[in-house]
């Protein structure tokens, strides 16, 4: 069984185009979501200088001394700095890696705040307060990309709606005060660090993303792997200028697994005893905290009835974060965990 990450040009939804051109894009996206669950998009309209500014901001922060970066930790919040080996993404699926909390990536998160929306009843505990590093132009550069990634994510949900026949405004009620998070990841060990970790070398362990859709900017450096329907892990390399896109758990719930959330991981290459540095920036479009996500009525006849019970975005995200951040197995992710365990680490 061959594995290929489709490239989809979404220009027809970014610029004025005919209904026929949009329909062709929606059909291509539907096929990619059904067969792979992972794609790359071009024609997204994110200017190269904004992407370059993001990369500069990322480099400026992660080049700081570790003790200085740790000053930006925000306990019990999906914000701020996460040092190496403070998380285990596989536990968000209820699957233990060779060692708990062994993911050696470091990350920095910012995102939408409750006060960003004109809804007086929103709770900051569902969002988080951003803590910005004291670095020249960091906030402006990151915010510029955040707004563009948010636009791309909302463009994608518009295409999703067309592809699913759900009506053009289907996602509006689910995402008008969405929990959107931008996570900057750095995969590198300090110079001279022994790479013999306690267990298999893991950049970011196997996991699915939590929400509706993820837009990923990434270096063209090997390491990202996707679990295909053949049960094998496949390497993925983005094309020049493309953004990677994968589906989250909530989209799988909406579609009754017609579109499956994408299991992926990062296994950085070790060259001459050292790890080649890799950077990525994930924009997570998760939906409104109080939104109830359930299977679309038109898809209830797929498979063996209802695959998932309705759940609020708040409860789903909380269960996943309790696994990855607090070391508590998420016992609700039965389907995703089964797919990981069946793969048994096999690589294409």
DSSP per-residue codes, 64-81 = S-HHHHGGGB-TTSS-EE
Architecture of domain 7-343: Sandwich (2.60)
Residue 187 pLDDT > 90: no
pLDDT digits (tens, 9 = 90+) for 23-65: 999 999 999 999 998 999 999 999 999 999 999 999 999 999 9
pLDDT digits (tens, 9 = 90+) for 86-99: 755 445 444 454 44
What are the extents of the domains in the chain? 7-343
Dist. CA 287–CA 172, nearest whole Å: 10
Residue 319 pLDDT > 70: yes
Dist. CA 189–CA 2, nearest whole Å: 34
- On whether the CB atoms of residues 323 and 206 are closer than 8 A, the answer is no
Give me the residues paired with residue 282 across strands: 183, 216
Q: What pLDDT shows up at residue 239?
A: 93
Dist. CA 164–CA 170, nearest whole Å: 10
- Model confidence band, residue 328 (pLDDT cutoffs 50, 70, 90): very low
Give me the residues paired with residue 218 across strands: 280
Mean pLDDT of the chain: 84
Q: In 3-state terms, what secondary structure has residue 343? A: helix
Dist. CA 13–CA 21, nearest whole Å: 9
Residue 260 pLDDT > 90: no
Give me the residues paired with residue 284 across strands: 181, 214
The structure tokens listed for 291 are 């939104």
- On whether the CB atoms of residues 111 and 179 are closer than 8 A, the answer is yes
């Amino acid at each position: 069984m061959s594995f290929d990450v489709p490239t989809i040009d979404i220009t027809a939804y970014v610029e004025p185009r005919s209904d026929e051109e949009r329909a062709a894009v929606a059909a291509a996206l539907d096929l990619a979501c059904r067969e792979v669950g992972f794609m790359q998009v071009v024609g997204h309209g994110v200017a190269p200088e904004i992407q370059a500014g993001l990369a500069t901001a990322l480099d400026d922060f992660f080049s700081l001394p570790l003790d200085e970066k740790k000053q930006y930790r925000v306990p019990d919040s999906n914000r701020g700095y996460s040092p190496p080996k403070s998380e285990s993404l596989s536990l968000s699926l209820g699957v233990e890696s060779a060692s708990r909390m062994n993911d050696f990536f470091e990350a920095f998160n910012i995102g939408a705040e409750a006060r960003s929306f004109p809804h007086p009843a929103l709770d900051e505990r569902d969002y988080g307060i951003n803590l910005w590093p004291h670095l020249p132009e960091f906030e402006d550069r990151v915010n510029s990309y955040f707004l563009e990634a948010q636009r791309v994510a909302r463009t994608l949900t518009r295409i999703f709606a067309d592809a699913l026949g759900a009506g053009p405004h289907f996602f509006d009620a689910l995402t008008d005060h969405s929990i959107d998070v931008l996570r900057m990841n750095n995969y590198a060990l300090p110079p001279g660090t022994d790479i013999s970790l306690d267990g298999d070398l893991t950049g970011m362990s196997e996991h699915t993303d939590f929400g509706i859709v993820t837009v990923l900017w990434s270096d063209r450096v090997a390491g990202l792997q996707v679990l295909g329907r053949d049960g094998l892990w496949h390497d993925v390399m983005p094309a020049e200028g493309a953004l990677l896109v994968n589906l989250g758990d909530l989209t799988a719930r909406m579609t009754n697994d017609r579109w499956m959330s994408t299991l992926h991981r990062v296994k950085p290459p070790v060259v001459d005893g050292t790890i080649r540095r890799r950077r990525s920036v994930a924009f997570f479009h998760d939906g409104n905290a109080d939104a109830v996500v359930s299977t679309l009525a038109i898809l209830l006849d797929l498979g063996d009835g209802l695959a998932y019970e309705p759940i609020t975005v708040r409860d789903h995200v909380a269960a996943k974060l309790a696994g990855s951040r607090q070391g508590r197995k998420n016992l609700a992710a039965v389907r995703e965990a089964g797919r990981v365990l069946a793969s048994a680490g096999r690589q294409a």
